[in-house]
Amino acid sequence: MRVLKIAGVVMLLTAAHASGQSRDTLPDWSGVWQMVGGTVFDRATASGQGGALSQGLRERPPYNAQWEAIYQRNLKLRDQSQLPDPINTCGTPAGFPRVMNLPDMYEFVVRPEQTWILTENGPNVLRIYTDGRPHPAPDDRWPTYTGDSVGKWEGDTLVFSTLSTKNSQWPTEGDTVLDRTGLVLSDAAHIVTRLRRVDEQTMEARMVIEDAKALTAPWNVTKTYRRQPAGTRVYDYGCAENNRNPVDTSTGKTLILGPEGEKFGQ
Amino acid sequence: MSSEVIAMRTNELSRVRAIRHWVVGLVVMCGLLAGTQALVAHHAGTMFSDEVKEISGTVKEFQFTNPHSWIQVMVETKPGAPPQEWSVEWGSPNQLGRRGIRPSTFKSGAKVTMRIRPMRDGSPAGGFVGAKLGDGAVVGSWE
């Protein structure tokens, strides 16, 4: 029994050491947060007025010609209301980096060995390992919506690397987007995020996105989150509870189900 | 019960009603925001027209559910004709609940006039903009 206790203490100390932070020195990211601005992923490069669904609005990731053409195709579909969103299918994760670009509430749960980003919308969970483990070897990982994230603390900033996300040329291939303009990335995407609390009211995520298949240069995107009033609750988000918005697979249009299951908007 | 007590209670009731209307009115400004932003959460609102249409009738059911809330309204068409059921889509209960909307906001059987952004294809459905209930209470955007 005593040996087990000692082993437990050693494991805890190792985890704390590997993360660069002990439980006492971890930053306080408690509370409930909401992303600032709309869900246009890269507002800094957006041209045109309005939100992600507004005709004419687009962003300027440093896409190569092939992926720029994919994005332009998606923008055209968006303008025709024929670009469905993968998350219209309840249960589909937002994926990374879109998980940093969602409406509704956020929570940032900091532990010595992991940080969890919980999003009410979805819901989604992003796990960032800070116990010193590396990414799995190429043979030991496979693409997932949210990918694999490992990180370390640099003072009060959590610096983490994410890879092994899914290849997507949605809607013809793959099943993720970064926002509703139709931004997509390949499975070669590698994102380094610097996450910190700037002040009492503001969290900031600075992302540097590299993608050897889709981008010609690193793509820098910053998202910020505002603290919500004390006592704000986060609720259950059961997308399948009463989803009356199926997608017409032949046209890509999002429909409405009437009270008798009639399909409106075809 | 004395007439004095009844008068006090009546005054109190009026005050409560006034406060209730004020609160609901406040909620409604938020409602406009909820009406435009909340729909973004799960799907695009591009199937709805930009124009605002007014419908009047009786609340059949308020589905305070994810990913979107729905207000089923039996809309009077012509005198003597059976009412037509309209489906009015609103935000998620999570978003609406934080803005003060409750499952009791639209009670079954309540008379209502509703402003909606109707579907472009003419189907009996639309996106919620605002509502005025039979007792004068306003929910969402009305001005």
The partner residue sitting opposite B43, judged by closest CB among A85, A232, A234, is A85
Alpha-carbon radius of gyration of chain A: 20
Q: What is the mean predicted confidence (pLDDT) over B23-34? A: 40
| pLDDT value at B11 more than 90 | no
Task: State which residues form the domain around B70.
Answer: 3-140
Report how far residue B105's alpha carbon sits from residue B90's, in angstroms, rounded to the nearest whole number: 13
Report how far residue A63's alpha carbon sits from residue A70's, in angstroms, rounded to the nearest whole number: 10
Which pLDDT tens digit goes with each residue over A133-150? 999 999 999 999 999 999
Taking the CA of residue B20 and the nearest CA in chain A, the distance in Å comes to 22
Closest by alpha carbon to A164, among A183, A141, A184?
Answer: A141
Chain A contact set for B70 (CB, 8 A): 242, 244
Of B5 and A146, the structure prediction assigns the larger pLDDT to A146
Residue extents of the structural domains in chain A: 5-227
| pLDDT value at A14 more than 90 | no
Chain B contact set for A258 (CB, 8 A): 85, 87, 123-125
| pLDDT classification of B29: cutoffs 50, 70, 90 | very low
| pLDDT value at B108 more than 80 | yes
Domain count, chain B: 1
CATH of the domain at B97: 2.40.50
Arithmetic mean of pLDDT over chain A: 92
CB of A233 within 8 Å of a chain B CB? The answer is yes
The nearest alpha carbon in chain B to A237 belongs to B66
Of B18 and A68, the structure prediction assigns the larger pLDDT to A68
Which pLDDT tens digit goes with each residue over B64-87? 999 999 999 999 888 889 999 999
The partner residue sitting opposite B42, judged by closest CB among A38, A245, A255, is A245
| pLDDT value at B34 more than 60 | no
pLDDT of residue B44: 65
Contact B125 A236 (CB under 8 A): no
Taking the CA of residue A167 and the nearest CA in chain B, the distance in Å comes to 22
pLDDT of residue A214: 98
Contact A104 B94 (CB under 8 A): yes
Structure tokens at A1: 């029994």
pLDDT of residue B23: 41
Share of chain B above pLDDT 90, in %: 62
Chain B contact set for A229 (CB, 8 A): none
| pLDDT value at A7 more than 60 | no
Contact A264 B125 (CB under 8 A): yes
CB of A231 within 8 Å of a chain B CB? The answer is no
The partner residue sitting opposite B46, judged by closest CB among A81, A90, A262, is A81
| pLDDT value at A201 more than 50 | yes
**CB neighbour list of residue A118: distance below 8 Å, 6 or more residues apart:** A106, A107, A108, A109, A124, A125, A234
Contact B94 A90 (CB under 8 A): no
pLDDT of residue B79: 86
Task: Select from 2.40.128.20, 3.30.930.10, 3.30.1330.120, 3.40.50.2300 the CATH code of A5-227.
Answer: 2.40.128.20
Structure tokens at B16: 């409560």
Q: What is the mean predicted confidence (pLDDT) over A188-210? A: 98
